[in-house]
Structure 1
Amino acid sequence: MDYMIGVDLGTTSTKAVLFDDQNKVVAQANYGYPLYRDEPDMAEEDLDEIFTAFSNALAAVIRKANLSAGNKIAAVSFSSAMHSLIAFDKDWKPLTRVITWADTRAVDFADQLKSSGLGQEIYSKTGTPIHPMAPLSKLLWLKAEYPEIFQNAAHYLGIKEYLFHRLFGSNKMDISMASGTGLFNIFELDWDKQALKLTGVRKEQLPETVEPYAYENTMAPEFAAVLGIPTDVPFVYGAGDGPLSNLGVDAVKPGVAAITIGTSGAIRVVSDKPVIDPKGRTFTYALDKDHWVVGGPVNNGGDVFRWARDNLFDAEKSTAALLGRDAYDLMTEIASRIPAGSDGLIFHPYLGGERAPIWDANARGSFFGLNHSHTRANMLRAVLEGITFNVYMVSLALEEVVGTLNSIQATGGFARSPLWRQMFADIFEQPVTVPEAFESGALAAVIVAQKALGKIDDLYEISKYIGDSNTYQPDPKNFEAYRELAPIFIRLSRQLQTEYDNIANYQRKHNQ
C-alpha cells in the first residue's frame, strides 16, 4: 500500500492524517501546544514545542502505516495557519518565538498605515488587508519596539517554512503562504518592492517563493530516524489552511462559499484571478497561481463558544464530564430550547478584536438588549447567533466583490453541531452542505501532493473523494426574526466601533 500524509499545522495543535491510495483516512494523530499570552495582545508559540508536536504526530501515523510490511509513504503534504512571523540571525538562531496571526501588538502601526492612505495602496497589490495579523504590520512593530532584534535579523520565516528549514535546510515559502504576509505582490508573484521599502526588509531576508507543488526529498538522517521514515520521501509544501479548506470541501466553483469555524473562522470563494476590494475588506490569497481564494477571516469562532462554556456554563461542563458526554453537545441542547433571535438578545463576539468585516483589533464583545426575562440559555444562543451574524456580515461584503453566493459548504468544529448548521442556513437563507469527512484540510493537502507527483492532472479530482454529505435547508419560520435582527447587529457594530479604542486602551492600562 502507498500512503500519503496530510499535515495540518494549526494555531494550537498539529494534526497528521494518514490516507490510503483511495484517499480514505486510515489513522490520525493530534498534538497540542500552548499559545503564550504573557502580556496584553500577545499570542506567541514556542518553536521547539511546535516541532515536537509535529514530530510526534507524524511519527504516530507513520507507525500506523507499518512500513516494515512493505508499505511506503509516497508523500507528506502541508496545510498551515497563515500570517506567522519568526526572526532568525545569520546563523539561523531564532531571535523570536512564533508571532502568530492572533498577536495584535502591531495594532498602532496597522492603524497608522491605514490612515495614511499608503495602506490601501499596498493592499491593492498584496491582497492582504492592513491589520496587525499580517507580517507587514508585525515588521513595522518589531522595527520600532525591538530595534536590536530587527537589526540582527538576517532571515524571516513562518512556522511551516521553519519546519522545512529544520528538516531539509531549505529557505523557501510557497506562494499561498507568501500571499498572506502583506509583503507579496499577487499580480507579479514576487515580493513587493513598496512593502519591502516601507518595512526596511531586504528581499534576501525573505525566502525564495515556490509553487505549492514544490517539494523537498533530502531529509536530514537524524530526523528521518526519529520519524521512522526514509530520507527521500517527498515533503510537498502545500498551501495555507484557508485556501486548502475551500479545496477540501470542493468549494471551487463560482458562487460556492466555504465557511469554516474552528478556533477562528472565515468565509471564502474561489476565483481564477486575484480580486481586490476597493474598500479593503476582503483578502485574496493564492491556492496556486491559477486559483485565488477571496474572502474574509474572523477572529472569533469556536474560541468564543469555549469562553461561554468556561465562564457561563462551568456547572454543565462538570456535569457533562460526570455523564461522559461532550459539554458542547449539552450546551447546544440548552440553546435549542430558545427561539430564533434569542428573544431579542444580540451578542457581538469580538472577544479577540476582529478582522473581517470591521478590521479593528481593538473591537470588544458585548451583549445588547439584556432584560429581566433573559437567562443563560438566551445568552448561549445569542453567542452562537452572534458568531453567525458576524460571518453573515462578511458575506455581504464578499458579495459586493465577487457576486452572489449560491450555496455554502461548511467545515470546522461548528459543522458537528446540527443547531449551529441550521442557524447558518436560516440566517444566510441558503442551503448548508456538510461533508461527512471532517479532515478536509489534510485531504486537500494530499490532493496537492498527488498533483505535484503527477498522480492526478488537476485539483478538481478532489470531488471524487469528498464522500457523503448532509444538506441543511433554511427554515422559513426563522427568517422573520433573523431578518429583523441582522440589520440591528450590523448597525450596532458600526456605532460601537467609535468607542472600541477607548475601552481597549482602558483595559490595557489596567491589565498591565
Structure 2
Amino acid sequence: MRYIIGLDIGTTSAKTVIFNKKGHVISEHEEGYDLLHSAPEYAEQDGEAINTAAMDSVRLALEKGSIKSKDVIGVGLSSAMHSLLCVDKQGRALSPSITWADRRSVNEAEYLKDNHSTVYLRTGTPLHPMSPLSKLIWMKNHHYEPYQKAYKYVSIKEYVLYRWFGEFVVDYSVAASSGMYDIHKQDWDETSLKLAGISRDQLSRVVPATHEMKGLSKEASDLTGLASSTPFIIGGSDGPLANLGIGAIEPGETAVTIGTSGAIRQFASIPAVDEKQDVFCYSFTEDLWITGGPTNNGGIVLNWLKDLFSNEGYSLSFDQLNHMAARVKPGSEGLLFLPYLNGERAPFWDASAKANFIGLRSTHGKEHMVRAGMEGVIYSIYHIAHELERLGHSHDALYASGGFARSPLWTQMLSDVFGKPVHIPKSHQSSAWGAAWTALYSLGEVPSLHSIKTSIPMNETIEPNQANYQTYQQTFKIYKELYPAIMKQLKQLQSI
C-alpha cells in the first residue's frame, strides 16, 4: 500500500498525519513546543525547536504505522499564518519566531489604520498586530538588531523548508497573510515593502500551492526517516487547507474551526475586500481566494472557565464542563458573554478588547457561566458570518473542525445559532488532509482539488433545532450591539 503525508506546522505543535488515498488516517504523531513570553505583549517561539519537532513528528508517525519511506507517495505542507523570523544568509535564525498572538506592534497597526488604510484593500490582510507588516514596522521603529542584520524575513514554514531544502520559497497563502502581498496582482506590494523598510530581495520567491520541492537534505532525511527523493509539495496555510480537507469548497459551504482560537472561512473565485476591513482575504491558488475572519477566543474560553472553577487538587474535565452547560436552556437564562479574553480580531480588530458577562444575577450559577461562555464563542463566529454575508457569501451548510467538533453540545449550538446543518468529518485533521490532497493533486494521483469531496469520511450531520434558532436570533441581536456600546468605557478602564 502507498501513503500520503500531511505535515501541519501549527501554533502549538507539529502534526504529521499519514493517510491512505481514501482519506483514512493510518498513523499520526504530534510534537508540541512552547509559546514564550519574554516581555509583556510578546508571544514568540524557538524556530529551531519547531524545526526539530517537525522532523520528530514525521519520523515517529512513520514508526508508529510501521511505514517504510519507499511507500510514501509524497508530503504536503500546512502551517499557521502570520509568523515572522529574521534569518541570515545561511538561513540561521537571528530572532525568535514572532507569532500571530504577539501584540507588541499595536501602535504600528493603529498607525497603518490611520494613515495607510488602503494597504488592506490591496493585500486583504487586516491592519492588526498579528500582521508581519506591523511587526516589521515595529522592528524598524525600535532599531531591532535582528531586523538590521537580516538577509531574509520569513515565516516559520519558510524557515523549516530552508533547513530541509536550502531554498527560500513561500506559497501564495502564507505570502498573502504577511500584509505585504497584493492579492489582485499576485505579487509583493511595493508600498507595503517601503513601509516595512525592506526590499523584495529580502523576501522569499512566491510559488503556487502545487510547487514541488526535491532534494531533502541528508540531515532532514536522517531525522525524518524519509528518503531524500521524497517529493514535498509546499501546500498552503492551515486556513484554506482546513477548508479543502473538510470539503467546504463550493459557494455556500462554510468551514468553522475552533481550537484554542477559532475562524470561519469560505473559498471565493474573486478577492473580497471592502472599506469596512472586517474580514481577511488571502490568495490560495492563481484563481481561488479564502475569505473569512479569525477570533482569538475559542477553546481558550473553556480553558479559562475550567481553571476558574477547578479547585486545588481537583481539575474539572472538559466533559464535565459540557455536562454543566447542558443543564442550562439555550440563551443561558438571560446571561451573555463577550468572549474577548485576549483582545479580538474579526470583526472589530481591537487588540485591547475585553471580555464581559452581561446580565449576571444571583440566580445564575457556574453552569450558566459555562454555557454562556460556549454560546459567546459561537456568537462571535456568527458575527463574522454576518460580515461575510454583506460581501455576498451565503452560509448554506457548515463544516466543523478543530477540538470543538468533538463536543455534541457545542456543535449543536453552532447549528442552532446559524439555523443550518453542520457536517462533522470522522477525522479532525482537516488541515493535514488538505495538505496531503494538494500533494496528491500536484503529483498527478487525483484529478483535481475539488474531487477531494468524495474522499472525506463523514461522521454525522447535525440538524438545527428551530425553537433554539429563534431564541438565539433574539439574543444575538443584543449580543452584537454590546461591544460597540461599551468599547469607550473599556478603553478608559485600560488607561487607569
TM-score (norm 1): 0.94
What is the match of residue 441 of structure 1? 431
- Tell whether the 8 Å contact from 1:10 to 1:80 is kept in structure 2 after alignment: yes
From 233, 237, 254, give the equivalent of 1:236. Answer: 233
From 334, 348, 356, give the equivalent of 1:366. Answer: 356
| 2:233 equivalent to 1:222 | no
Deviation at 1:499, TM superposition (A): 3.3
- Total equivalences in the alignment: 496
Query: 2:218, 2:70 → 1: CA distance?
Result: 20
Deviation at 1:505, TM superposition (A): 4.5
Change (3 A) 1:65 1:416: closer
What is the match of residue 476 of structure 1? 466
From 162, 166, 184, give the equivalent of 1:165. Answer: 162
1:318 counterpart SS class: coil
What is the match of residue 271 of structure 1? 268
What is the match of residue 61 of structure 1? 61
Q: Any idea what the Cα deviations from partners look like across 1:370-401, whole Å, max 9, x if unmatched?
A: 11111111111110011111111111111001
Letter in 1 for 2:36: Y
- Tell whether the 8 Å contact from 1:435 to 1:466 is kept in structure 2 after alignment: yes
| 2:295 equivalent to 1:305 | no
Query: 1:145, 1:504 → 2: CA distance?
Result: 24
Query: 2:274, 2:135 → 1: CA distance?
Result: 23
- Tell whether the 8 Å contact from 2:306 to 2:315 is kept in structure 1 after alignment: no
| 2:372 equivalent to 1:376 | no
| 2:9 equivalent to 1:12 | no
Letter in 1 for 2:235: G
What is the match of residue 134 of structure 1? 131
Q: Any idea what the Cα deviations from partners look like across 1:170-213, whole Å, max 9, x if unmatched?
A: 10000111011110001111100111111111110000000011
Percent identity between the two aligned chains: 39
- Tell whether the 8 Å contact from 1:243 to 1:286 is kept in structure 2 after alignment: no
Query: 1:485, 1:478 → 2: CA distance?
Result: 11
From 180, 204, 209, give the equivalent of 1:207. Answer: 204
Letter in 2 for 1:460: H
1:236 counterpart SS class: strand
From 384, 405, 412, give the equivalent of 1:394. Answer: 384
- Tell whether the 8 Å contact from 1:363 to 1:504 is kept in structure 2 after alignment: no
2:291 counterpart SS class: strand
What is the match of residue 26 of structure 1? 26
| 2:140 equivalent to 1:143 | yes
Letter in 1 for 2:102: D
Q: Which runs of 5+ in 2 are unaligned?
A: none
Change (3 A) 1:274 1:310: same
Query: 1:84, 1:319 → 2: CA distance?
Result: 33
Deviation at 1:25, TM superposition (A): 0.9
Q: Which runs of 5+ in 1 are unaligned?
A: 321-326, 507-512
2:35 counterpart SS class: coil
Deviation at 1:319, TM superposition (A): 6.0
Deviation at 1:318, TM superposition (A): 3.0
Deviation at 1:92, TM superposition (A): 3.1
- Tell whether the 8 Å contact from 1:168 to 1:218 is kept in structure 2 after alignment: yes
| 2:442 equivalent to 1:452 | yes
2:391 counterpart SS class: helix
Letter in 1 for 2:369: M
Comparing 491-500 and 449-458, the one that deviates more = 491-500
The CA RMSD measured in Å over matched residues stands at: 1.6
Query: 2:401, 2:119 → 1: CA distance?
Result: 31
What is the match of residue 45 of structure 2? 45
Query: 1:319, 1:403 → 2: CA distance?
Result: 42
What is the match of residue 280 of structure 1? 277
Letter in 2 for 1:73: V
Q: Any idea what the Cα deviations from partners look like across 1:325-377, whole Å, max 9, x if unmatched?
A: xx111110111001111111111111111110110011111111111111111
1:402 counterpart SS class: coil
Q: Any idea what the Cα deviations from partners look like across 1:445-490, whole Å, max 9, x if unmatched?
A: 1110011111122101211111123111111222343222112111
Letter in 1 for 2:177: G
Query: 2:216, 2:51 → 1: CA distance?
Result: 15
- Tell whether the 8 Å contact from 2:257 to 2:400 is kept in structure 1 after alignment: yes
- Tell whether the 8 Å contact from 2:22 to 2:456 is kept in structure 1 after alignment: no
Letter in 2 for 1:468: M
TM-score (norm 2): 0.97
- Tell whether the 8 Å contact from 2:24 to 2:457 is kept in structure 1 after alignment: no
Letter in 1 for 2:430: S
Query: 1:402, 1:363 → 2: CA distance?
Result: 28
Query: 1:91, 1:220 → 2: CA distance?
Result: 14
Letter in 2 for 1:318: Y
